[in-house]
Chain A
Amino acid sequence: MADLPPYPPIDPTTFDLIIVGTGLSQSILGAAAASAGKSVLHLDPNPFYGSHSSSIPPTGFSSFLCPPELSTGDRLLTHRSVYSDVDIVPEACPEDSRKFILDVSGPRVLFCADKAIEIILRSGVNQYLEFKAIDELLIWDEGKLESVPDTRSKIFKDKKMRLQEKNLLMTFFKLVQQHAQEEKKISNDDLQRPFVDFLTESRLPERIKKIILYAIAMVDYDQDEKKFCKHILSTKDGIERLVLYNSSVSRFSNAPGAMIYPIYGQGELPQAFCRRAAVKGCIHVLRMPIIDLHVDESGQYRGVKLASDQDIYSDRLVLDPSYKIPSDMKKSNPRDSLSDHPENPNLTDSYTKVARAVCITGTSLRPDVSNVLVIFPPQSLFPQQATAVRALQIGGNMAICPPGMFVLYLSALCSEAVQGKESLQEAINALVNLGSDNTETSGSISDSTSDAKNAGARPVIWKAFYVQELVEGHYDAICSAPTPDGRLDYDNVILATIQLFENLYPEEKFFPETPAEDSDEDADANVNLEPES
C-alpha cells in the first residue's frame, strides 16, 4: 500500500463519526448515522466496498483472506487476523475468473420478511438492489437430497412423507400460523421449553422434526445434544422462526419460496447502503487504512491518523473487527458486548469460528434449477458432525458467474478449524458424488482428501477453504463492528448494528419511518425481483 496514489487531503478534518471498514454492519450504520444528520467519514483500507461482507473475484481471494502483516510498531492500534487455515486449490484461478464474483461471507440469503428486507425497504436502499428467488430448498437425508416440505403445496406434492405425516405437519404449521395471529394457541409454559421437545409432543416423526429444526428454523446445533443449554432453541424462538419463514413464502409475487439472493452477490448490500449514506452526505474514502489513534491525556479518544498521514478528528469511532481495540481504551461497561444478548447465543461458547468454503463447479445439483440451498443437519454426514452444514448453490442467472457455471458456498460453526473443515469436506464430497452412486459411495466418504484429483459426478474446478473468527460487536468510547456470523440470514448482524447505533446516538431514530410518499398499501413491498426467464 506504499505506492498509493497521493490522495487529496480530506476536508473537513472533523466529523461526528468515523467508520473504518465497509462491512455490512458498518455500511448500515453509516447510512443510519448520515440519515440522522451526522457528518460521517467512512474509510476502508481495501480498494473495494464490503470488507468481510464483500463479493470479490477468485483472484482477490488469497490476498483478501491472508493480508500482509502490517507492522504497527508500538502504536495503539493492532490487527487481528479474522481468517485462518486458508486453503485454496488450485492456486491458479479458473479461466474467466473475472466473470466470477464470490461472496466472502457465504452462504447467505435473505428471507423475504426478515429484518434485512425491512431495513432495506425502510432506508430506501431497495432502489439500488435487485433480487432473485432461491429456487429450491433441500435437505440431506440418508445419502439423498430431498425436497423440504416447507409449504402447503410442497407437503401436498411430497413423495416421501406418509399421509398421516402430511396431516401432522400441516396441522403443526397451522398451529404456528394461528399462534402468530395472536390467538395464543401455545401456552407460555410450552414456549419456554426446548422446541425439540415441543415438536416431539406434537407427534411429529423424527424426519419431520429434523426438517423443521434444521431446514426451516435453520438451527445450527444438534438439538438432541442438551449439554449446552445455549445451543437449544426455545419453542418461542422456534415458532418465531417458523412464522418468519411462513410470512416470507410468497411475500413477493416473483419469489415463490421464502428466500431471495441479490443479483451480483451479497457484496451489493453494503455497497447499496454506502450509496444511501453518500446521498445523505457521508464521505467515503477507499484504499485508506488508519495507522494510529489520537488519545488525549485522560486517555480519551480524539481522532485517527490516516495512512496518508492526515489527522482527522471525530467524536466517535467505529472500527472494523480486524482491528483490536487497544486494551487501555476499554472501559468496563456492564453492557459492553453482545454476549448478554439473548438472540445471539453463538458467540459465547466454544464455537467461536465458522468454517467456510467456496467451490466452483460446472454442473448444477438439480438439473432444472440453479439456485439451491442444501441443509445437512447435525450427524447427517457422519456421526461426529456437531453442527449443521449449509450449502448454497448460486448459478449464472444471478450474474455472479458465467452461464453454465455454479458457485457453491458452504459453512458450518466449529470450535476448531479441523472439525469445521471436516464437516465441509464431507458435505462437498456428498454433493460432488451425488448421482454417481453406482461407483463407490462409501469410498468417497472415507477418502476425504482425494476430491481435488478425483473426478466425481461434479468435479470441483476451484475451491477455497477458510475459517473465520466470530468477533462480536463492542461498544465504548471506541466501538467495533461485529464480523459476519455463522447464520444464513443477517438478523443478528442487523440487531448488533441497531444496538451499536443506539449506543452511539441514543437520542436518534434508526432509519426513521419516512412519511409515506404514496398511500399505496403495497408500496412497502417494492423489492425489485427479476422475473424468472
Chain B
Amino acid sequence: MHGRPRKPSKPENAAASAAKAEKLCLLQSQFLSNHHNRIYTKEALEANAKLLEINPEYYTAWNFRKLAVQHYVSEAGSDPQAIKSVYDEELRVVEAALRQNFKSYGAWHHRKWVLSKGHSSLDQELRLLDKLQQLDSRNFLTWNYRRFLTELLNRSVEDELMHTEDMIGTNFSNYSAWHNRSMLLCKQLKAKDTGLKSKDILSKEYELVQNAIFTDPDDQSGWFYHLWLIDQTIKAKPPILTASWPSNGSELIISRKQCPGEHPLYEYQGLNIDLKEFPVILYFNQAVSGVSSSTVNVESFNIMWKPLSPCNSLGSEIWMAYLNLAGEDCHFEGPVSVELCIGQSQGILSSSGSPYSKPMHIAFTVTTEAIRLQDSGGHNPDMMSWEDPNFCADEVDPRVLNSDVPFIEEIKENKESTISEWQKDTICREIAGFRDLLSIKDYKIGKLTLARLLMADDALSYPYGNVSVHSCEVLELLKDLTKSDPTHSRYYEDHISLVLLQQLTSSEEMLRRHLFCFKGANSLSVHKPLCLRLNNLSLTCLGSFNKLLGVQMLDLSNNELQSIEGLEAMQLLSCLNLSKNKLGSFTALEPLRHLSSLKALNVSDNEIGSHSIDTRRYLFSSPLSHNESVKWDPNLVPSDAANPTNYWEAIMLFKALKLTQLDIIGNEVVDDRFSSFLVKIMPSLVFLDGQKLV
C-alpha cells in the first residue's frame, strides 16, 4: 500500500518461484490452446480461473471468460436462473483474483462487465468495496469502481458525500477521497445551477478543507482540493468579453500606398496589412466554446470564427475571424463600418457550462488615406534592424495600439453585476485565513496559495485587468518562493512573468514606458511603426495578451523565454524579436505558425538544437497527423542530416509563414547546410541573418 518498502526476494524463495513459474507456464499454454480451439468446457474454465487467480493481470484470460460467458448465456436461453449462475461464477472468480491483487485492472474491468449485464445482485458489492477500502483507503481502482457502482445503484450524491466525509475523517491524507468528493460536488453544482446554492455548497467545503490544511499543512491532498475549490469559486462566474481588436468605437486608418501603375499597398500604422484577411479578435476571460457566425454576428460579412488555442477541445479564450475588406480586385477605398453583435443568441458557454450572458455590440470603422509615392521603393522591403538607436520614446500614444480596455464605462456601471459578493467574500476570507497560517510558520505551499488567492482576487475584482492591487505582494511572495524552493523555481518564475506583464499593461502610464517609435525602416511612411519593447525583463513566459492585441512590432529579446505560448493572440504581429532567449527547439515556436502577418523574425542566439530532449513536442503539430495542411517534398531534407527532426520541424514551422526576414544565427542547429535549406523552403525570404539573398 503506501510507505511500505518492497522487500527484496530471498534466495531461498528462488526455487519456489521457479516452481510457481512452471505451473503458470503449464496453465498458460493449456489456456491458450483452449482459447484457440474455443473450448469452453467446465474444465477449461476451471483451469482459466486457476490461472487468473495466480495472475489476474492476464487480459487475454479475462477475454476468454467473456467469450465463455457469452457461449453459456446463449446456451441457457431464457432461463434466468441459469444465466444468473453463469454470472455469479464470474463474480466469484473476480473476487478470488482481487484477493490476489486488488490493483488488477483486468479483474475490475471484468467485474464491471459482469455487473453491467444486469443479472447479478448488487447487495454484496458495497460490502466488498468497504472491505477493500479498509485494506487500502487510497487505491484509485476501488474508488473508480465505487463511482461505477453508485451510478448503478442510483445512490444519492448526499449518501456518497457522507461516505467520503467519513473516509476523510479517518485519514485526510487521502486524495482519492477528496477527489471523489470533487466529482460528487461537480454533479451537485451542475444540478443546482444558481449562485446561491453553489455558495452554500462551496463554503462548507472550504471549512472542511481548511481544517485539513491547518491541521497538517505538509500534507498535499488538502491543498490540491483547495486549489480545485478556488477554481470552482472563480469559474462559477459567467464568461465575459475582456478585449477585442479592433476595439469598440475605434476608427482605423489604413494608408494606401500606390505607385503609379502598380497595385496599391495597404499599411496600418506604418506596417503592411492584408485587407483580404483583416483580422477581428475576441478575447474572453475564460475559455469558451460556441463562438460562431450565429452567436457573434457581423453584418454584411460572411465570416468563420475559429478558436486560437492549440488544444481547443475545451474551447478557447481567443477567437478570431478574417474580414475580407478588399474586393476581388484587391482594391479598398473605404470607409466601411463594421458592427459585431456578440451573444445576441445563446450558445457561448464556458467550460463549466455557464452561458455568456451579456449581449454587446462592437462597432468600428476603417477608412483609408492615400499616400502618393514617387518611386516604387515600397515593393522592396528594407532590412529591419532591432538596434537601440532605431527606437525613440517620444510622443507615443499607447491608445494607438487599441490595447486599452474596451468597455471601461460599462465596468463602472455594472460593477455589482460583474462581481458577486460571496465570491469576493470567499476569496477575501481565504486570504485572511492563509495570512494567519503563514504568521505561524512559512509554509511554501501556503505562500503559493496566498499568491494564487491574491491573483484570483484581482481577477475577480478587475476582470479587465486594468487594475492590479496585489501585484507587488504577489511578486514578493513568488520571489521568496523562488529562493526557498529552487526545485520549482521555473514554475514560480513563470508566474512572476505573468504578474509582471499584468502590471506593465495595467495602465497606459505603465505601458507608455515600453512603447517606442521605430524609425529604422520605411522612412517614407507617414506613420512610424510602434514597437512594444519588453526586452531585458527576465520573462520566462508570456501573458496579458488581451491588452496587446493590436501590437504589430514586438521586442522580447534578452529574456529567459523557453516558451511563447499564447503569442498566437497577437494576430497583427509583423515584426518579432525573440533573440537572446532560451528557446530550445522549433517546436517551442509553434504559436508563430498562426501569425499570418509575420514578416520579420529574429530568433538568433537561442538554444534551438542544443537540447536532446524536446519538452515541447506535445504542443507541436506533427506531420504525421492527418489534419496538417502543410505538404513538402521529403527530398528537401538532406538524407545524411545528423538530426532530420530539426529539418522537418523547420519545414512545419516556416512553411506556414511568409517571412521576408529571418535571423537565426547563434543557434546550435544552424550551419551552412541548414541555412541553404531554409532559403530553399522559404521562397519569400529576402534577408537571412543580416544578408540579402540573391
Q: Which residue on chain A has the smallest CB distance to residue B218?
A: A174
Q: Closest chain A residue to B208 by CB distance?
A: A156
Interface positions, chain B 169-189, Cβ under 8 Å from A, are 169-172
Flag if A163 contacts B211 (CB, 8 Å).
Answer: yes
Count of residues in B whose CB is under 8 Å from the partner chain: 17
Q: Is the CB of B169 within 8 A of A156?
A: yes
List, in ascending order, chain B residues with CB within 8 A of A155's CB.
Answer: 215
Q: Is the CB of B437 within 8 A of A170?
A: no
Query: Given contacts A152-B216, A170-B216, is CB(A164)–CB(B169) below 8 Å?
Result: no
Residues on the A chain within 8 Å of B214, using CB: 163-164, 166-167
Interface residues as binary, B118-138 with A (CB distance below 8 Å gives 1, 0 otherwise)? 000000000000000000000
- Chain B residues positioned under 8 Å from A167 (CB to CB): 214-215, 217, 437, 440-441
Question: A434 near B: Cβ within 8 Å?
Answer: no
Contact with B along A161-182 (1 / 0, CB 8 A): 0011011101100000000000
Q: Does A153 contact B (CB under 8 A)?
A: yes
A171 / chain B contacts, CB cutoff of 8 Å: 440-441
Q: Say if the beta carbon of B210 comes within 8 Å of chain A.
A: yes
Considering the complex, which residues of chain B in the window 126-152 have a beta carbon less than 8 Å from any beta carbon of chain A? none
CA gap between A461 and B100 in the complex, in Å: 54
Residues of chain B from 403 to 424 with CB closer than 8 A to chain A in the complex: none
Known interface pairs A166-B211, A166-B215. Does A156 touch B172 (Cβ–Cβ under 8 Å)? yes
Contact status A163-B172, CB under 8 Å: no
| B433 interfacial contact with A, CB 8 Å | yes
Query: Considering only CB atoms, which chain A residue lies closest to B212 in the complex?
Result: A156
- Measured between C-beta atoms, what is the minimum distance from A133 to chain B in Å? 15
Distance (Å) between the CB of B4 and the closest chain A CB?
12
* Complex: A157 Cα to B168 Cα, angstroms: 9
- Secondary structure of the B contact surface, majority rule: helix
| Contact residues of B between 374 and 432, Cβ < 8 Å to A | none
A170 to B: closest C-beta gap in Å: 5
Beta-carbon contact of B437 and A153 below 8 Å: no
Among A153, A163, A166, A168, contact of B170 (Cβ-Cβ < 8 Å): A153
In the complex, A198 Cα to B416 Cα: how many Å? Answer: 52
Task: A155 to B440: give the CA distance in the assembly, Å.
Answer: 17
Q: Does B436 reach chain A (CB closer than 8 Å)? A: yes
B437: A residues at CB distance < 8 A: 163-164, 167
Most A CB within 10 A of own CB, among B171, B214, B436 = B214
A152 to B221 alpha-carbon distance, docked (Å) = 14
In contact, A152 and B440 (Cβ under 8 angstroms): no
Complex-state Cα separation, A156 to B212, whole angstroms: 6
Interchain CA distance A167-B438 in the complex, whole Å: 11
CA distance A156 to B208 in the complex (A): 9
With a cutoff of 8 Å between Cβ atoms, the chain A residues found around residue B433 in the complex are: 163
Contact B441 A157 (CB under 8 A): no
A168 to B441, CA, bound (A): 10
CA distance A171 to B443 in the complex (A): 12
**CA–CA, A171 and B171, complex, Å:** 17
Min CB gap B174→A, angstroms: 11
**Contact indicator A153/B169 (Cβ below 8 Å):** yes
Q: Could you say which residues of chain B place their CB within 8 Å of the CB of A163?
A: 210-211, 214, 433, 436-437
Closest chain-A Cβ to B88's Cβ sits at a distance in Å of 28
The distance in angstroms between the C-alpha atoms of A156 and B167, with both chains bound, is 12
Q: Give the interface centre of A152, A153, A156, A166 by most chain B CB atoms within 10 Å.
A: A156
CB distance from A422 to the nearest CB of B (A): 39
For residue A157, which residue of chain B has the nearest CB?
A: B169
B440, A153: Cβ atoms closer than 8 Å: no
B-chain residues with CB within 8 Å of residue A156 when the two chains form the complex? 168-169, 172, 211-212, 215-216
Interface residues of A in 183-214 (CB under 8 A from B): none
Give, as a whole number of angstroms, the nearest-CB distance from B452 to chain A.
19
Task: Report the bound CA distance from A254 to B214 in whole Å.
Answer: 28
CA distance A422 to B57 in the complex (A): 68
CA distance A163 to B211 in the complex (A): 6
Q: How far is the CA of A368 from the CA of B161 in the complex (A)?
A: 22
Name which residue of chain A comes closest to B440, CB basis: A167
Q: Which residues of A contact B170 (CB under 8 A)?
A: 153
- Of the candidates A155, A163, A166, the one having the most CB atoms from chain B within 10 angstroms of its own CB is A163
Residues of A within 8 A of B172 (CB): 152-153, 156
**Assembly CA distance A171 to B217 (angstroms):** 9
Within the assembled complex, what's the spacing in Å between the Cα atoms of A163 and B436?
A: 9
Min CB gap B220→A, angstroms: 15
Residue of B nearest to A158 (CB): B211
In the bound complex, how far is the Cα of B229 from the Cα of A142, in angstroms? 37
Assembly CA distance A166 to B437 (angstroms): 11
What is the chain B residue whose CB lies nearest that of A256? B170
Give the chain A neighbours of B169 by CB distance below 8 A.
Answer: 153, 156-157
Residues of chain A within 8 A of B210, CB atoms compared: 163
* Assembled-state Cα–Cα distance A170/B217 (Å): 10
Contacts A153-B171, A156-B169, A156-B172; A170 near B436 (Cβ below 8 A)? no
Q: Decide if B215 touches A164 in the complex (CB within 8 Å).
A: no
Chain A 448-472: CB-based contact to B (< 8 A → 1; otherwise 0): 0000000000000000000000000
Chain B residues with Cβ below 8 Å from A166 are 211, 214-215
B-contact 0/1 string along A223-259, CB 8 Å cutoff: 0000000000000000000000000000000000000
Q: How distant is B340 from chain A, measured CB to nearest CB, in Å?
A: 49
Give complex CA distance A168, B216 in Å. 10
CA–CA, A153 to B172, complex, Å?
7
Q: What separation, in Å, do the CA atoms of A75 and B622 have in the docked complex?
A: 107
Closest Cβ–Cβ distance, residue A135 to chain B (whole Å)? 15
Smallest CB gap from B169: residue in A: A157
Q: Which residues of A contact B171 (CB under 8 A)?
A: 152-153
- Smallest Cβ distance from B634 to chain A, in angstroms? 62
- Chain A residues in 8 Å Cβ range of B440: 164, 167-168, 171
Closest Cβ of chain B: how far from A249's Cβ, in Å?
Answer: 12
Shortest CB distance A314–B (Å)? 50
Chain B's closest residue to A155 (CB) is: B215
Nearest CB of A to B8, in Å: 15
Q: How far is the CA of A101 from the CA of B210 in the complex (A)?
A: 46
A-B contact pairs, 15 of them (CB 8 A): A153-B170, A153-B172, A156-B212, A156-B215, A163-B433, A163-B437, A164-B214, A164-B436, A164-B437, A166-B215, A167-B437, A167-B440, A168-B440, A170-B215, A171-B440
Additional pairs, 5, CB under 8 Å, beyond known A152-B171, A153-B172, A156-B215: A152-B216, A156-B168, A163-B210, A167-B437, A171-B440
8 closest Cβ contacts across the A-B interface?
A163-B214, A167-B214, A166-B215, A156-B215, A166-B214, A155-B215, A170-B215, A156-B172
Binding site for B on A (CB under 8 A): 152-153, 155-157, 163-164, 166-168, 170-171
